[in-house]
Structure 1
Amino acid sequence: MFDAEEMAILNALENDKLVQSIDADEEIALARKAAKEYLSKSKNITIRLSLGDVTTIKNKAQETGIPYQTIISSLVHQYATGKIRLEA
């Protein structure tokens, strides 16, 4: 049924003597840090865009003062997170 370790845990639980073996707050902080680092990493890719689209985006980027790569990245992120959708 239960092995010795499981019985010790069950007995501690039933006698209100169960003690955490880890620092849960520290574990949560480590998990959050790992998730934030993962999500903040970027990956260089190669993509083919029409010359007209690139020129238009570069012109709009110059008007707004935002780098054109940032605009393209933002659009991809907004699509990936469902904030914008493509029409079929």
Structure 2
Amino acid sequence: MKKMDKFEKDLLQAYESGELFSTKPTKEDKENFKAAAQATSLKDRRVNIRLSSPDLRDIQARALEEGVPYQTLIASVLHKYVSGRFVERPSRLTKRSTRTDRKRSAG
């Protein structure tokens, strides 16, 4: 069994002290969950795209960070973008340099 990190220890302590408790989702929560599930499951079209190897590796790394398959991450990002709900979060991953970055640092 692996050692618990600080977050896991804090979570266990909160649970054992009774600070954590289960809540039932509201009717609105259930409706939102249902709508999200239906939107996600309606995959009736296939799209093929070409990506650069570095971009695909970055997408796969971000998907691993998020705990989802990379195809699911791509579909989710596109869905959020077209529905106007896309909000970018900084990644914990190291940003790879771009040609523009290298030109700036060289000049």
TM-score where L is the length of structure 2: 0.39
Between Structure 1 and Structure 2, which shows a larger proportion of helix residues?
1
TM-score for both structures, normalised by structure 1: 0.46
Q: Which has the larger radius of gyration?
A: 1
Structure possessing the higher relative contact order (Cα contacts under 8 Å, 6 or more residues apart): 2
